[in-house]
Amino acid sequence: MDGYATCISGVPILVDGDYIEARLELAAESNECFGMGQYCLGEGSVVLARYDERYAMLGRSSASLEAVATSPYYPGYGYSFEGSRFWRDTALPQSYYISVHNTYLQPAQVIPEITAAFQTWEDDPASYFDVTYAGQNDNLHRNQFDGINVVTWEPIDGVGGTLAYSYTRLDVGTGRMVECDIALDCDEIWGIGLGTVYDVQNIVAHEVGHFAGLDDLYDTTYDDDLMTMYKHSEKNQISKRTIEWGDKAGLRFAYNYHRSAATSIGSYQAGAGNDIGDVDGITGKDMLCAWADNPSGDNYIYYRLGKQISTTTGAVSSWTGTSKWSTSIGSYTQGMGVALAYIDADGIIDLVFGWMDNPSGSNTMKYVIGWDLSTSGVPASWSSTKTMPIDGVTWDSTGMDIKVVNCVGTARPDLVVFWGDVATSDWDSMRFRIGKDMDTSGNVGSASWTSVTIFTTNYNTQGCGVCIGNFDLTGTKDIMFAVMEYHTGTSGENKVTYKVGWNIDTNGIPTGWTGWSSGPVGWLGTETDGLGVACANINGLASEEIIYFWVDDPSSVGNSCYYRMEWEGRVAYSHP
């Protein structure tokens, strides 16, 4: 079969609840694959299809001696997902049963091993993935349409093939999981611990990753083969009993906490931003968050410092009180951003606020520097307000952010500015430029600015953010742009999408670009009054973490600020 085929027939007539089984098999000596959607089905793979007005079924071969399925992912992430295939928040905790009717092992042997495998994933402190062991029930069999999750043994493909299989049922409307059964091949040699057996806990821990929604990994170049979700398992192996950094990052991507940064900040904001640095002088990272208040009359910037971001949970340990910069930023503002940097070379970190002024006529981007932050994040003094060039700035903007970081390789930091332009036709466009070599007074020469780079989008936006890091671990700075995609009316919640420019050259221009990709998942609200993004190495591993910060604008109560962390970068190694 060299491609896809469609057959249309009036029979059989299927009604809700009926199902069919479709089997695509290859000869044992063949190493070709049949393409089906985004999955590649190898020897002995089975796809079940059921006519159902709401649900779809997905079977995933797993823990095999050889790769039997592939799904597209970027090597080096440490994890892989397809769409929104994980449990809804309201569906947790998920209960599961264990059935040992088809194995020679005793319940007292295997039940503690299986529950320990689930507990390994549940114990991750930075995610809210939650399961409950419902008990032993040997009357249950793998049946992905009964609404019951079960771990059981059954024949799959004989000795030496697939060790285990996860059968997942999805809600077609949302793509979320509604059921998952795990089957271990009863023809294999199972046991506990090392030896000439497949360790039950080792294999089940991998399958629980599928139960949580993660896909298999296939690459051996970027340490994917060290992860519990790596596709290959073998006898005399117990290394997958614990989950590794990539497994944790994947779990946290799907089941991440949205943490509060500030509540009851007013009913109207005109932008928000964040950045990460060592402000309080204690080992560890701090996060400064700010927002532009937008009442009737003059607008002002408010800010607070979150101290000591936890290296294990991503939560801020404590917050200072909220401070206010006492100078008005005008009556109409359309975005603001935050940067932390060492600008005046005195060894004390400084603060930069940038904002989009929206007077009558063309908008203007401005910034101010707060010199020498105290350990509570309050500047000792402020600079005068400075104005950026107006090239590429129009009459109406959808957000703005800044960062101050050395990204072109000279001795001085650079001022990076990113902003959105309101659509004149269908969709908003995004723009950025870099002011190279900021001097110790915080000035950027007019001749030092790069030209404006413009991106198109496929949506309207409610805020944008920018951060600079070494996402591909090559040693050259990369730039990440994030926007809050806005869905009007009842078409759904807002979501973050991002774009990455790889390896910024000495002229301030990335040498390559990604397309726009989906960012964090979960509820971000339907109305947003600002977005910021920052990156830093929080947990000491190779990749940097990314922290999103936004102002939620619900209709019934005052606005609040939230943040969430994406562990291990979420964009690492994703360029061609």
Q: Which residues of 13-40 are buried (b: 16+ CB within 10 A; e: fewer)?
A: eeeeeeeeeeeeebeeeeeebbeeeebb
Q: What pLDDT sits at residue 175?
A: 82
- Residue 206 placed within a domain: yes
Residues 383 and 249 in one domain: no
Residues 305 and 213 in one domain: no
Average pLDDT score over residue span 562-572: 78
C-alpha closest to that of 118 among 31, 201, 26: 201
Residues 249 and 304 in one domain: no
C-alpha closest to that of 262 among 347, 172, 191, 324: 324
Output the domain CATH number for residue 386: 2.115.10
Under the banding of pLDDT at 50, 70 and 90, the label for residue 219 is confident
Residues 127 and 208 in one domain: yes
Beta bridge partners of 60: 166
| Residues in contact with 339: Cβ distance below 8 Å, sequence separation at least 6, in sequence order | 275, 351, 352, 354, 402, 403, 404, 405, 415
C-alpha closest to that of 563 among 268, 272, 352: 272
pLDDT at 93 over 60: yes
Residues 283 and 237 in one domain: no
Q: What pLDDT sits at residue 570?
A: 54
Q: Which domain holds residue 504?
A: 273-566
pLDDT at 33 over 80: no
| Rounded distance between C-alpha atoms, residue 270 and residue 274, angstroms | 14
Asked if 519 and 570 touch (Cβ cutoff 8 Å), the reply is yes
C-alpha closest to that of 245 among 564, 539, 573: 539
- Residue 451 placed within a domain: yes
- Residue 213 placed within a domain: yes
Residues 197 and 160 in one domain: yes
- This prediction's pTM: 0.83
Write the pLDDT tens digit of every residue in 137-183: 999 998 878 899 999 999 999 998 899 999 999 888 878 899 999 99
Helices within 284-347 (DSSP H only): none
pLDDT at 132 over 50: yes
> Rounded to whole angstroms, what are the CA distances from 88 to 40, 82, 179, 522?
27, 15, 11, 9
Number of neighbours of residue 234 by Cβ within 10 angstroms? 12
- Residue 303 placed within a domain: yes
| Rounded distance between C-alpha atoms, residue 442 and residue 384, angstroms | 10
Q: What pLDDT sits at residue 30?
A: 29
The last residue of a domain, from among 193, 223, 254 = 254
- Residue 345 placed within a domain: yes
| Rounded distance between C-alpha atoms, residue 264 and residue 129, angstroms | 29
Residues 398 and 476 in one domain: yes
What six digits make up the tokens of 171? 């809600």
Residues 356 and 395 in one domain: yes
Average pLDDT score over residue span 205-220: 92
- Residue 65 placed within a domain: yes
Angle, CA 108 vertex, CA 102 and CA 110 arms, to 5°: 55
C-alpha closest to that of 94 among 264, 329, 254, 279: 254
Tell me the CB-side half-sphere exposure of residue 126, using CA atoms within 13 A. Answer: 25
Asked if 141 and 154 touch (Cβ cutoff 8 Å), the reply is yes
> Rounded to whole angstroms, what are the CA distances from 569 to 76, 471, 472, 480, 497?
10, 7, 9, 11, 14
Residues 334 and 247 in one domain: no
What's the chain's average pLDDT?
A: 82
> Rounded to whole angstroms, what are the CA distances from 7 to 4, 10, 11, 195?
10, 10, 11, 50
The last residue of a domain, from among 254, 283, 300 = 254
DSSP string covering 57-124? EEEEEEEESS--EE----TTSS----TT-SB-GGGPSEEEEE--TT-SS-HHHHHHHHHHHHHHHHT-
Output the domain CATH number for residue 174: 3.40.390.10
Phi/psi at 131 (nearest 5 deg)?
-130, 160
Q: Is the peptide bond before 93 cis (omega within 30 degrees of 0)?
A: yes
Number of domains forming the structure of the chain: 2
Residues 239 and 281 in one domain: no
| Rounded distance between C-alpha atoms, residue 217 and residue 233, angstroms | 12
| Residues in contact with 112: Cβ distance below 8 Å, sequence separation at least 6, in sequence order | none
Q: Amino acid identity of 350?
A: D
Write the pLDDT tens digit of every residue in 438-473: 999 999 998 899 999 888 877 777 888 999 998 888
> If residue 201 lies in a helix (H) or strand (E), which one and from where to where?
helix 200-212
Q: Amino acid identity of 402?
A: I
The last residue of a domain, from among 223, 254, 285 = 254
What six digits make up the tokens of 384? 């005068």
Residues 179 and 284 in one domain: no
Residues 465 and 368 in one domain: yes
Asked if 227 and 240 touch (Cβ cutoff 8 Å), the reply is no
pLDDT at 492 over 70: no
At 241 the three-state DSSP class reads helix
Asked if 250 and 244 touch (Cβ cutoff 8 Å), the reply is no
pLDDT at 9 over 50: no
The radius of gyration of the chain's CA atoms, rounded to the nearest angstrom, is 26
- Residue 14 placed within a domain: no
**Identity of the highest mean pLDDT range in 111-125, 167-181, 426-440:** 111-125
**Identity of the highest mean pLDDT range in 109-118, 137-146, 493-502:** 109-118
- Residue 11 placed within a domain: no
Higher pLDDT, 153 or 494: 153
